[in-house]
Amino acid sequence: MKVYDLHCDVLYKLAKAEEPLSFADSSKLQASKKSLEAGEIALQVFAVFVSDGFPKERLFLEAIRQIEFFHNEIVAKDDNIIPIYEWEQLESLQEGQIGAVLSLEGLDMIDGDMHKLKLLLSHGVKLVGLTWNGANQVADGSSEESGTGLTPFGEEVISLLNELNIIVDVSHLSEQSFWDVLPKAKWLMASHSNTRALCDSPRNLSDSQIKALIAKNSPIHVVYYPPFIDATKKSVEIQDLEKHIEHIVSLGGKHLTGLGSDFDGISECVVGLEDASKTQNLVRKLLESYTSEEVEGFTSKNFERFVMRICREA
């Protein structure tokens, strides 16, 4: 069953590697092309992430460098990797092809400069997270709640993203930032977040946040990182991740639930879900509790309906 994965950090890992890594088949990548194919991933979102481990003065250049990796190492070297610059392209993807989408994870790299943001967006970015864990000139992140929430500059950023029909990703926002962004963003989603009711992490969403996203018909994609699934267990299994899907469904979000692995951004893995090649293990587990149509919703159809709505209403 084909899968749309809304978040991975392959670009970050390629940029940080001391020696060049092959996207095609490197065993050091959790979401290499070989693993994506084995896991039947039909759409992969590749995040540009430079908030951690890079000197501040180099952040923007590192973001450009990661975008170059996307174009030169991921897209250009294989005819079966199709860059998605318009969501309508999803409808024309052929079996065996993998759609590749650029996203931004945190806007530290623009340093309050709208011109830098416009340059990054011009490369086909379709999804933008305003923060990583820390606060920046746009908003507070999930681990740094200054009380500012969304800044006046952040409001300008949201206006630009709305104008361009780019999705705002709330996954790393602080709670105050989340509530500030909610009424202002035209299109928004959580690309890789779980439920706080089951795992009390600031990176997860409270029931009130989940219900607010559902009310706005905004997708919520679960993340595979064990500390965000069950922080009390040394070994987290697929059924533990499934409980987060069950909880979102119980709140009325069956038609909005999806997947956002965070592969290559996580150091711990769910048993049986160690890399993208194991994705069908999750699909098979879900098929034990849900109909094939419902699981297709979780794996691709829910998100597809969402972005087709963007196409119709843009």
Domain boundaries, the chain: 3-313
Sign of CA dihedral 243, 4, 261, 25: positive
The per-residue pLDDT for 142 is 86
The per-residue pLDDT for 133 is 84
How does pLDDT run across 24-34, given as a tens digit for each residue?
999 999 999 99
Write the CB contacts of 182 (distance below 8 Å, at least 6 apart in sequence): 170, 188, 212, 216
Q: Is residue 159 predicted with pLDDT exceeding 70?
A: yes
What's the mean per-residue pLDDT of the chain?
Answer: 96
Write the CB contacts of 243 (distance below 8 Å, at least 6 apart in sequence): 198
DSSP string for residues in 64-88: HHHHHHIIIIIITT-TTEEE-SSGG
Fold of the domain built from segment(s) 3-313: TIM Barrel (3.20.20)
The per-residue pLDDT for 222 is 98
User: Taking the chain, what is the end-to-end CA distance rounded to the nearest angstrom?
Assistant: 29
Helix (H, G, I), strand (E, B) or coil at 29: coil
Tell me what percent of the residues of the chain surpass a pLDDT of 90: 92
Q: Is residue 313 predicted with pLDDT exceeding 70?
A: yes
Beta bridge partners of 105: 129
How does pLDDT run across 242-281, given as a tens digit for each residue?
999 999 999 999 999 999 999 999 999 999 999 999 999 9
Model confidence, pTM = 0.97
Tell me what percent of the residues of the chain surpass a pLDDT of 70: 99
Helix (H, G, I), strand (E, B) or coil at 19: coil
- Report CA-CA distances (Å) from 7 to 11, 53, 57, 127, 153: 11, 19, 26, 10, 26
Query: What is the band of 141 on the pLDDT scale with cuts at 50, 70, 90?
Result: confident
Other Cβ atoms less than 10 A from the Cβ of 52: the count is 14
Mean pLDDT of 226-235: 96
Q: Is residue 144 predicted with pLDDT exceeding 70?
A: no
Mean pLDDT of 159-170: 98
Beta bridge partners of 129: 105, 169
